[in-house]
Structure 1
Amino acid sequence: MNLLKKAYLLLCFIAVSIISNSQQAAAVDSIQQALAEAKTVEEKIFWLDNISRTMMNVNPAEADKYGLQLIMMAEESRNRKLMIKAYQGNGIRCGFFRGQKEFANRAIGYFEKALAIAKQERLEEETGACQVLLSDICLSIPDKDKAFKYITEAFSRISTTNNDSLKVEANIGYGKVYEAGNEKIPALRHYFTALRIAEEINGTKENKRKKAELKRNSFLRLSSFYSRIKEYDKAIDNYTFAYQELDNMNDKRVPYQRCIDINAIGNLFAAKKSYDIAISYYERSIAMADSLSFSNLKVPGYISLLNQFLRMNEPKKALDYVNSPRGQALISFLNQFGMSAAVYQTYAAVYSQTNQFDSARIYFEKAIPLFEQRMTENNSVVVYMQAAEFYKKAGEIDKSLAFYTKSKDIGERNGLLEIVQEASKQMDTLYGRKGDYRTAAVFNATYYIYKDSVDKLNKENELDKIAADAEEERLERVKKEEEERKRRRNNIQYMAITIGIVVLFVALVVLGMFKVSAGLIKAIGFFVFLMLFEFVFLVFKKNIYSITKGEPWLDLLFMIGLAALLVPLHHWMEHKVLHYLTSHNRLTAAGHHIKKRFFKKTRNEGE
């Protein structure tokens, strides 16, 4: 069933989020060395935060130990900003496992402690940052009301600051909340605003990495947005832009992140049904991970290939893949990170689709209690729907109805319309088999109500595509209009400066026609020539950016070469012209002629 395949994909990406949000295991030794060499508290806090996040992808228990050290060191320092950073860092690393209740609740607890300190110390930027983090984690529970409350408060705080990084994150956070509420156009506007702010950051060497990271985050959100409304080409475009921003991020994480990105782009091609291209991306991602000697980084590729067999409705290939060395590496990874529920669910789903009912029943009975204990509702509904389908195929109608009922309830609570629609449709069929036609009719009516809602939502998605295109065109038009206004304004200023220089040169020549002291002519001439050649420097400097790309050493070389050419020319021209204007009163005859004609005209008018 198509819906169940979609649900299965959702669960598998729990594991991907762990790797996507962490640094490489290969960096552990270098981080430990940097931590040992750290002198100041600030440096130790920085490296403890780094290693605690990194270890979440290697050994979560060790990550907890480093996280505790991080908090203890920050608390002992009594530096409130370091304390906030320590609690935020612990919240972020726990958020890598946000699909599990325990870690989601721990993340919220850490963020709330950081927020309490920030509010107590009246630190506006830190308060806003904590609220953005809380809004994001609340969306994964999901608790949309709390998420909206936090992001609204954060946005009002951050908008009054000069922190561009926080403004970008706040706009992205607001976009996520709007998107979760199915308000797509406001979400898109916030994503575009985030991208615009990131693009306008001064691209100095110090800001280069920050600018690239913020632009990358904005492109990733735009990619996710377009994927949701099934504009897969635009989703691929924006993910590719995000991938290209890694070229401007010179740190050790980049090669590992490239591997993750290649796999993610493959998933977008799969959603577009370009399966051959998708598989080539998955294999490329696995090969990149292999070249980096980082086995865990192969897991996203393994997951994607397994999902691909399910997309293509080939459960036998999926089962063979699970039992292959690659599949066993995936199982080992999930077990290592306390995700045995996902392991059991994987086997249960595949055995169910290959009609191996005894094996499927064993694994569903193992998986379901673990999901109920550890996973959030949005993840639990996955296994409920799969179990319901399995028991329906096995002829156990009452058990199937029980799981469809649970799925329907979760779907209604969390706005999962397709889940409610599918569950209602199946319950109509199952109650009909039992001969309970009255109850079947109730669920038949519910099915059509939600079918209409889903159809309406699909139509809205089509309208959203049109509206998104219109919004993108509008923003592009506004940007071009602003650039044109700026170009015209600059051209007017250049023209005014040019006219001013010409007028000053004419005035200088006119002064040479009269008996004016040589000192005055030289003084005025000095400023006229200075203005002329500084203007030439300005014009050249403005136009060399396309060559130097703002690289300081290239700018310096170009300006040295230009100065070597223009400075001697400046002095030579100034000397020749001023010498001509001041020597032997060469133009005084012309001056007398102008004077006579002027005064003659004045006398004639007087008579």
Structure 2
Amino acid sequence: MHIITTLLALFACLGAIAQDVAKVKKFEAAIGGATTDEEKISAIIALAQYYAVFHLETRADSLTHKALTVAETSTDSNLVFKILFQNDINLINIWSSEETINRSMQFIKKGLALAQERGRAEYAAIGNIKLSGLYRMQGRYDDALQQATEAFTNLDKLQEDSLKSMLYMELGDIYKSKGDAVPAYKNYNNAFDVAYKLKAVRLQSDIYHRYVDLYRLFGDDESAKKYLINSLRMNTDHGNELGLYNDYIDLAKITDEEAYIEKAETLADKLQSDRYKLAVKRLRYYLLMTKGRNANETFQFLFKNKDLWSYFKNMGPVNSFWQYGNIYHYAGQYPQALHYFSLAEKALENNSDADMSLLLYKAMGEAYLMHGDTIKATGYFEKSFQLARQLNQLNELPEISKKLGVLHAAANKHASAYFYALQVDSANTILQANAAKDKVALLQIDRENSNRQTDLRELAVQASRRRNLQVMFITIAITVIFGFMLFLGLFAVSKNTIRVTGYFAFISLFEFIILLIDYPLHNFTHGEPFKIWIIKIGIIALLVPIQNFLEHRLIAFLE
């Protein structure tokens, strides 16, 4: 055990490394072998994205600026925008440092300024949406809304409906982060309506997942699961593998079902994405840690998957020690857990991350309590209590206050015990009031959803009615054409007239047959052009001889 402890501490303090040296060399070879600026930039960006997946932000930034230098000297000005607005170079998340977020912000601002200077409204709108997302992550909601407003101004100059859908999603995300569920849901509905009209399956799938997050915010996992099943069916029908991967990942998070993880893993391998493969491993790791509760098995999984190991290590000592401590904590090995939590606490001294401090202090309080050290447990729970109040984390207060009340009562500090008992009642009262508001909000969301489903059904009925009317009209028109041919046969008309009329009639008939099978054909092939092309060649190969045979027989009969 001491050997493992020493190794873990050593590895946590080592510098950041990439997961696969051979893969890095392959990326570098692609950069060296590029023959055009576009190929070189694509290869550089691919390596930057690889580094970003493993939280090697400094290397990713360096490569991004290298790509930008190549683009700025290129004759193709669009290459600059491709880099400045690349989606996946910086994978920002809750663990991203303020420095990383600020670097990303400066990069996007540079692109936004260039887009405005060159009059590229579409790129300016993308820049506004991305900046809005970064401001939202920082809790700067007014700045985020300002960027969203500017994005609407830029989109007014364009007919880019897909960007409008993305903008409505961002607005929904802002309101969700603020705790305003109803306007969040309305904006998601607006985004979905735009995506639905565009038949943009990927956008629709993204919005389904936002509905999922919204319902899970209220603890309604059943409704969330229904949206995921809707997304799963849609993505299956259209062969959207990336959408299916996201569906299986979220279904696994809700249900803890191994089958969903296995399907996500299969798709990650098929997509050949380091990012998605790593996400599956992270999910397995967290389930193994929290459900398996066996430290040796969890560490074996971590050691076996070097990419996962690198991912956590590259996030810095605080996160590495936090992970190790949690592995032991869930396994009930509290002395080892406290050792790593203490190392994380020391590493956190140079970091002003209050949210992380709250998580750590609470975990240390629980570990000391389970270990039987009530004095230190009390100290860390009191630190947690102060931080929770400072951060307005009301959900944390009842549990922390209850434990402090019990600890102070056991120490015969009755005044303190009474104080924390009052804090429990006060926090629960506020939470109950908030729960009532949430219930009202959820009812409003359900009403909005019901109205929207009614509208969608009406639109579907109208579309079906239009289609049926058009099919009926075509059927009548073809019948009239054949009737007209038979009518012509009663008179002495030239053979050429009969042949032309017959040719037109059969072309109309068989094109109508192709039209009728077109929609089920697209569903069957998931819209893949090659499959559609092969099947239509086969269908036409069958229909053309039949057409020629029937056409000649009918013309011979009329003649």
Query: TM-score if structure 1 supplies the norm length?
Result: 0.70
CA contact (8 A) 1:87 1:110 kept: yes
2:213 aligns to what?
224
Q: How far is 1:226 from its partner?
A: 3.7
CA contact (8 A) 1:91 1:108 kept: no
CA change 1:82–1:394 in 2 (3 A) is farther
2:521 aligns to what?
548
Provide the C-alpha distance between the structure 1 equivalents of 2:141 and 2:252, rounded to a whole number of angstroms: 30
1:10 aligns to what?
none
Matched, 1:268 2:290: no
Provide the C-alpha distance between the structure 2 equivalents of 1:232 and 1:25, rounded to a whole number of angstroms: 41
Q: How far is 1:293 from its partner?
A: 11
1:88 aligns to what?
85
2:170 equivalent among 170, 173, 181? 173
Provide the C-alpha distance between the structure 2 equivalents of 1:409 and 1:229, rounded to a whole number of angstroms: 23
SS at match of 1:542: helix
Provide the C-alpha distance between the structure 1 equivalents of 2:520 and 2:22, rounded to a whole number of angstroms: 38
CA contact (8 A) 1:90 1:110 kept: no
Q: Which amino acid aligns with 1:492?
A: L
CA change 1:30–1:169 in 2 (3 A) is farther
SS at match of 2:85: helix
Identity of aligned residues (%): 19
SS at match of 2:41: helix
Q: How far is 1:394 from its partner?
A: 3.4
1:404 aligns to what?
385
CA change 1:186–1:441 in 2 (3 A) is same
Q: Which amino acid aligns with 2:166?
A: E
CA contact (8 A) 2:19 2:54 kept: no
CA change 1:408–1:215 in 2 (3 A) is same
1:588 aligns to what?
none
Provide the C-alpha distance between the structure 2 equivalents of 1:109 and 1:557, rounded to a whole number of angstroms: 55
CA contact (8 A) 1:25 1:294 kept: no
Task: Work out the number of aligned pairs and report it.
Answer: 527
2:53 equivalent among 50, 57, 65? 57
Provide the C-alpha distance between the structure 2 equivalents of 1:529 and 1:285, rounded to a whole number of angstroms: 55
1:394 aligns to what?
374
For residues 470-524 of structure 1, give each alpha carbon's deviation from its aligned partner in whole angstroms, at most 9, with x where no partner exists: 544443332332222223234334444555666677788889999xx957x986x
Matched, 1:42 2:34: no
CA contact (8 A) 1:75 1:83 kept: yes
Q: How far is 1:53 from its partner?
A: 0.4
CA contact (8 A) 1:191 1:218 kept: yes
CA contact (8 A) 1:390 1:400 kept: no
Q: How far is 1:126 from its partner?
A: 0.7
Matched, 1:492 2:492: no
Matched, 1:333 2:310: yes
Provide the C-alpha distance between the structure 2 equivalents of 1:435 and 1:495, rounded to a whole number of angstroms: 87
1:481 aligns to what?
458
1:536 aligns to what?
509
Relative to structure 2, which stretch is displaced further, 35-44 or 156-165?
Answer: 156-165
Once the two structures are superposed, the pairs formed by residues 24-423 of structure 1 within 5 Å of their partners are: 28=24, 31-57=27-53, 60=56, 62-77=59-74, 81-89=78-86, 92-93=89-90, 95=92, 98-158=95-155, 161-201=158-198, 211=200, 213-236=202-225, 238-239=227-228, 245=235, 264-270=250-256, 277-278=257-258, 303-304=282-283, 307-308=286-287, 311=290, 317-324=293-300, 326=302, 332-334=309-311, 336-349=313-326, 359-371=336-348, 373-374=350-351, 376-390=353-367, 394-396=374-376, 397-410=378-391, 412=392, 416-423=393-400
CA change 1:452–1:161 in 2 (3 A) is farther
For residues 533-574 of structure 1, give each alpha carbon's deviation from its aligned partner in whole angstroms, at most 9, with x where no partner exists: 454234312211255326133224323433332355346545
SS at match of 1:77: coil
For residues 440-461 of structure 1, give each alpha carbon's deviation from its aligned partner in whole angstroms, at most 9, with x where no partner exists: 7666555434323323444455
Q: Which amino acid aligns with 2:512?
A: V
Provide the C-alpha distance between the structure 2 equivalents of 1:243 and 1:496, rounded to a whole number of angstroms: 36
CA contact (8 A) 1:111 1:133 kept: yes
SS at match of 2:219: coil
CA change 1:83–1:513 in 2 (3 A) is closer
Relative to structure 2, which stretch is displaced further, 444-453 or 427-436?
Answer: 427-436
CA contact (8 A) 1:391 1:400 kept: no
Q: Which amino acid aligns with 1:148?
A: L
Query: TM-score if structure 2 supplies the norm length?
Result: 0.75
Provide the C-alpha distance between the structure 1 equivalents of 2:449 and 2:114, rounded to a whole number of angstroms: 40
Q: How far is 1:220 from its partner?
A: 3.3
SS at match of 1:544: helix
Provide the C-alpha distance between the structure 1 equivalents of 2:462 and 2:271, rounded to a whole number of angstroms: 49
Relative to structure 2, which stretch is displaced further, 283-292 or 37-46?
Answer: 283-292
CA contact (8 A) 1:125 1:157 kept: yes
CA contact (8 A) 2:54 2:310 kept: no
CA contact (8 A) 1:74 1:83 kept: yes
Q: How far is 1:109 from its partner?
A: 2.2
Q: How far is 1:216 from its partner?
A: 4.0
2:13 aligns to what?
none
Q: Which amino acid aligns with 1:344?
A: F
Relative to structure 2, which stretch is displaced further, 552-561 or 297-306?
Answer: 297-306
Kindly name which structure, 1 or 2, has the bigger radius of gyration based on alpha carbons.
1
